[in-house]
Amino acid sequence: MLVQGIKSRPVYTGLAIDLQARRHLFALEGEGIEALLDQVKAVGAQFLETSDILCVGKLPDVKAEYMWSAPTIPVLLNRLNVNLINAKMGTRLYLSGTEGFIGQAMKIALDQNIDFNSIRTEHRGSTARRVQCVHCKGITDDVKTSPFTCAHCGLNLLVRDHYSRRLAAFQGVCIDAEQPGTAPAPVVMFP
């Protein structure tokens, strides 16, 4: 479960298939596949006939009109961007997987001027965070502890409960700036 009550973090309310949509575009990562399968159980498989499913890695065991597997997240994001450029009115976007994945895919959608409120999202998988170092601006993926070491500038960063949709990242702030070298040991906070 993700920690609740962070004002700047999006609320991931679930995929909830929009049966009025003319097309459904899914971008799924890892355990995000399960969120799709749960929707098939809940509302039946008919929506798959008008669905494009983009997945990182293994495809779900369903028959959709179009399914495509990407080897990595960046490859999927490029493809998602192309699909959105070509998308027609009436397309509904669904994102599921880890928070870092949802955030990056949402960023692609925001850049295509899609209102974030219209995107259906469901968090699945690890609670690891994607964090931007506020000092060097480098982003470190898959952060499980606080503090952690910035992968770019090497500072010890506290992970603040403050999230930017535009950057798809939490904020990391140097924890021992006042007395360098006094950072506490990392604690697993986001397994």
Q: How far is the CB of 172 from other proteins (least distance, A)?
A: 10
What does the alpha-carbon distance between residue 79 and residue 85 come to, in Å, rounded to a whole number? 10
Q: How far is the CB of 116 from other proteins (least distance, A)?
A: 10
Q: Toward other proteins, which CB reaches closer, 43 or 177?
A: 177
Q: Toward other proteins, which CB reaches closer, 65 or 111?
A: 111
Q: Buried b / exposed e across 135-155, counting CB within 10 Å, b at 16+?
A: eeeebbeebbbbbbbbeeeeb
Q: How far is the CB of 81 from other proteins (least distance, A)?
A: 19
DSSP H helical segments within 7-98, as ranges? 32-43, 73-86
Whether the upstream peptide bond of residue 71 has omega within 30° of 0, thus cis, is: no
Q: How far is the CB of 160 from other proteins (least distance, A)?
A: 6
Q: How far is the CB of 23 from other proteins (least distance, A)?
A: 26
Three-class secondary structure of residue 59 per DSSP: coil
What does the alpha-carbon distance between residue 6 and residue 26 come to, in Å, rounded to a whole number? 26
Three-class secondary structure of residue 110 per DSSP: helix
Q: Toward other proteins, which CB reaches closer, 135 or 152?
A: 135
Q: Toward other proteins, which CB reaches closer, 67 or 136?
A: 136
Which residues lie near other proteins (CB under 8 A)? 6-8, 132, 134-135, 137, 155, 160-167, 171, 173-174, 177-180
Q: Toward other proteins, which CB reaches closer, 20 or 179?
A: 179
